[in-house]
Amino acid sequence: MSLEKRGLIIVYTGDGKGKTTAALGLALRAVGAGLKVRMLQFIKGEWKPAELKAAKWLAPAFSMEQLGIGFVTYKPKRPYEAHLQAAQAAWAQAKVEIASGHQDLLILDEINNAFQLNLLSVREVVGALQGKPEALHVVLTGRGAPPEIIELADLVTEMKAIKHPYEKGIRAQYGIDF
Ligand code: ATP
Ligand code: MG
């Protein structure tokens, strides 16, 4: 087996649950392997998921930051322009992380949602990923990954919803859903 370091572009998309969870699982594994991991969240930010607390126990190998400001289309509390600004700022930071060479794994959580909501240019992100440092792994999560991102990726997994407790009226569980 070759031990050559090859940075992968990994996509977790689809309408089923598990995209952010998969990225966090990967982060745990990567930290165990001695890699430095950074996670930037593009949409979340209104409430604090439990992983934000757990992340502190994995510092400084793992760090995460919420740069979004919450729901964009579902009962939004802020105007579209505010989300646009937040997504652009998140992307600006992502570019800094890509260029810095300080991280081994960069997770862009829910960036696909940002594409879908026209908060971010797919072309610009594809261009930056094409020019990324060779060894850097990048994970992009979120529903509706655009074809250009799927084309560029080395690994694409679609989470397919078969059943979700939400359909039975079971509300989101702390520690499981957030
Ligand atoms: P998770 O963070 O649990 O891995 P995810 O990243 O795949 O989920 P998102 O689209 O980011 O999913 O949505 C986050 C929230 O939406 C979670 O609370 C999750 O349980 C819920 N959710 C995910 N899939 C579904 C679904 N098919 N029906 C209803 N709610 C869902
Ligand atoms: Mg998610």
Which CATH number fits the domain that encloses residue 115? 3.40.50.300
Q: Which atom of ligand 1 is nearest to the CA of 21?
A: 4
Range of the domain at 77: 9-161
Q: Ligand 1 within 6 A of 158 CB? A: no
DSSP 3-state percent helix, strand, coil across the chain (nearest 5): 40, 15, 45
* Mean pLDDT in consecutive groups of 10 residues from the start of the chain, 178 residues: 83 98 98 98 86 96 92 78 94 97 97 96 98 97 98 98 97 96
Q: What is the mean pLDDT of the chain?
A: 94
Does residue 172 lie in a domain region? no
- Beta-bridge mates of residue 39: 64, 107
- The total domain count for the chain is 1
Does residue 130 lie in a domain region? yes
Does residue 166 lie in a domain region? no
Does residue 153 lie in a domain region? yes
Does residue 104 lie in a domain region? yes
Q: Ligand 1 within 6 A of 50 CB? A: no
Closest CA to 159 of 6, 4, 5, 15: 15
Does residue 171 lie in a domain region? no
pTM: 0.94
Does residue 1 lie in a domain region? no
Does residue 74 lie in a domain region? yes
Closest CA to 8 of 26, 34, 28: 26
CA of 21 to the centre of ligand 1 (A): 9
In one-letter notation, the amino acid at residue 160 is: K
- Please report the pLDDT score of residue 43 as a whole number: 87
CA of 158 to the centre of ligand 2 (A): 13
Q: Ligand 1 within 6 A of 45 CB? A: no
3-class DSSP state for residue 98? helix
